[in-house]
């Protein structure tokens, strides 16, 4: 593969301009085309990056022989048809989260990419962030002991979507982090929520994932909160971690806190839980832009022909959990078992076992 990768970005709405900015800044990338149906978006981006071509036709973009890779940042309902067309045209493809609107669509994209020998990657940006990488390092080193549960909150006022509910919009970030940490798929999913603004589109949800060894994760997602919250608590048998992505500096705090059951006792009066309270420390984290790291990783995978940390397989498993959450919502929070899916596809598909990001 040539040293410089020629890239086209499709979708210049909320997230697309960030992708344009980052790909344009990378030395081994030539951002050739920005594509969007709306003239005003193209005109605005052209004032910022006049050397990048503007294009309204996606079909013309993927037909260009000088384009090596396509980045899709459109509404979710367009992810599958656009990614399929790009892959069939021989383009490496990066899709923003969630990967597609169903597991069937994800599986078809994975099959096409495999047959064509192309890189298919999903924009689970938080797996490229320094705080999440540090958390993974701390857990893998055994510093928190055995994982017990994870609690995640991703809340804000809006942005209200018209085609997907809040779980599909916000929870993919937390699901991808949780799968990365747990290193396995959940055995079951249940979800409850409410649609206060648009009928049939839940704007508040609470999702529960049940893992092996009595481990669990809870994800609270909302477009209906007055404050922007991006927080995750990870509880282990030895220590606990609080990750606050909104914090300007100390994004990770490790608490030397735990609860221990007495090993033996003769009478109920002798039974006392032991509560341990120790120090709190904040590990040093080098500040960088996760999206820039993600974009560079996409280029590196194209050049090396290696599977991405957030490959199509990882995107498939996130969508599988989101589908289960939708089924649970329709059934008033009843659990949806994923054991058979887990056995069929293997935990490797979800955890990305063997795929590591080289910083």
In this prediction, residue 339 carries a pLDDT of 62
CA gap 54, 34 in Å, rounded: 5
CA angle 325, 327, 333 (to 5 degrees): 70
Cα–Cα distance between 279 and 289 in angstroms, integer?
30
| pLDDT computed for residue 3 by the predictor | 85
- Tokens representing 56 are 């309204």
Q: How far is CA 167 from the centre of its chain?
A: 12
**Residue burial 47-85, b: 16+ Cβ < 10 Å; e: rest:** eeeeebbbbeebeebbebeebbbbbbbbebebbbebbbb
- List the chain pLDDT tens, one digit each, 359 residues: 568 999 999 999 999 999 999 999 999 999 999 999 999 999 999 999 999 999 999 999 999 999 999 999 999 999 999 999 999 999 999 999 999 999 999 999 999 999 999 999 999 999 999 999 999 999 999 999 999 999 999 999 989 998 899 999 999 999 999 999 999 999 999 999 999 999 999 999 999 999 999 999 999 999 999 999 999 999 999 999 999 999 988 999 999 976 666 665 555 554 556 666 777 999 989 888 999 999 999 999 999 999 999 999 999 999 999 999 999 999 999 999 996 444 444 444 444 433 444 43
- Beta-carbon neighbour count of residue 332 at 10 Å? 9
Query: What is the predicted pLDDT for the residue at 353?
Result: 36
Tokens of 21: 């900015």
Handedness of CA 179, 185, 190, 191 (dihedral sign): positive
List, by residue range, all CATH 3.30.360.10 domains of the chain. 127-291+316-351
Rounded Cα–Cα distance for residues 67 and 86 (Å): 10
DSSP string spanning 249-308?
A: S--EEEEEEEEE--S--SSGGG--PEEEEEEEE--------HHHHHHHHHHHHHHHT---
Instruction: Identify whether the C-beta of residue 169 lies closer than 8 Å to the C-beta of residue 177.
Output: no
CATH superfamily of 127-291+316-351: Dihydrodipicolinate Reductase; domain 2 (3.30.360.10)
Give pTM, 2 decimals.
0.90
What pLDDT is recorded for position 277?
Answer: 72
Dihedral over alpha carbons 90, 91, 96, 98 (to 10 degrees) = 10
Using only C-alpha atoms, what is the Rg of the chain?
22
What CATH number labels 5-126+292-308? 3.40.50.720
Mention every residue, 6+ apart, whose C-beta is less than 8 A from residue 324.
Answer: 188, 189, 191, 336, 338
Residue 15 vs residues 4, 9, 70, 116, 283: alpha-carbon distances, Å:
24, 11, 15, 28, 30
CB atoms within 10 A of CB 249: 7
Give CATH 3.40.50.720 domain extents, the chain. Answer: 5-126+292-308
Residues in the chain: 359
User: Cα–Cα distance between 17 and 12 in angstroms, integer?
Assistant: 5
Tokens of 284: 């040093």
């Amino acid at each position: 593969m040539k040293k410089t990768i020629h890239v086209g970005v499709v979708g210049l709405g909320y997230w697309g301009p960030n992708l344009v900015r980052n790909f344009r800044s990378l030395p081994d990338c030539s951002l050739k085309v920005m594509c969007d149906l709306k003239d005003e978006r193209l005109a605005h981006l052209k004032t910022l990056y006049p050397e990048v071509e503007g294009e309204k036709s996606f079909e013309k973009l993927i037909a260009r022989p000088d384009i090596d890779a396509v980045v899709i940042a459109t509404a979710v309902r367009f992810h599958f048809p656009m990614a399929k067309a790009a892959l069939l045209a021989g383009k490496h493809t990066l899709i923003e989260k969630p990967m597609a609107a169903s597991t069937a669509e994800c599986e078809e994209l994975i099959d096409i990419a495999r047959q064509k020998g192309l890189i298919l990657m999903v924009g689970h940006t938080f797996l490229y962030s320094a705080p999440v990488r540090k958390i993974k390092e701390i857990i893998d080193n055994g510093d928190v002991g055995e994982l017990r549960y994870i609690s995640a909150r991703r809340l804000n006022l809006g942005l209200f979507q018209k085609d997907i509910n809040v779980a599909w919009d916000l929870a993919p970030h937390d699901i991808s982090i949780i799968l990365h940490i747990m290193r396995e798929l959940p055995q079951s999913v249940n979800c409850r929520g409410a649609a206060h603004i648009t009928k049939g589109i839940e704007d508040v949800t609470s999702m529960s994932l049940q893992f092996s060894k009595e481990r669990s994760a809870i994800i609270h997602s909302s477009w209906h909160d007055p404050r922007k919250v991006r927080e995750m608590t990870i509880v282990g048998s030895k220590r606990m971690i609080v990750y606050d992505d909104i914090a300007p500096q100390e994004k990770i705090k490790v608490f030397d806190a735990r609860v221990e059951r007495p090993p033996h006792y003769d009478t109920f009066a002798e039974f006392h839980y032991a509560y341990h309270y120790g120090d709190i420390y904040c590990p040093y984290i080098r500040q960088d832009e996760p999206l820039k790291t993600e974009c560079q990783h996409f280029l590196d995978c194209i050049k090396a022909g290696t599977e991405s940390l957030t490959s199509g397989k990882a995107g498939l498993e996130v969508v599988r959990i989101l589908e289960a959450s939708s089924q649970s919502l329709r059934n008033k929070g009843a659990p949806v078992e994923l054991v058979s899916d887990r056995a069929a596809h293997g935990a490797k598909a979800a955890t990305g076992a063997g795929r590591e990001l080289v910083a």
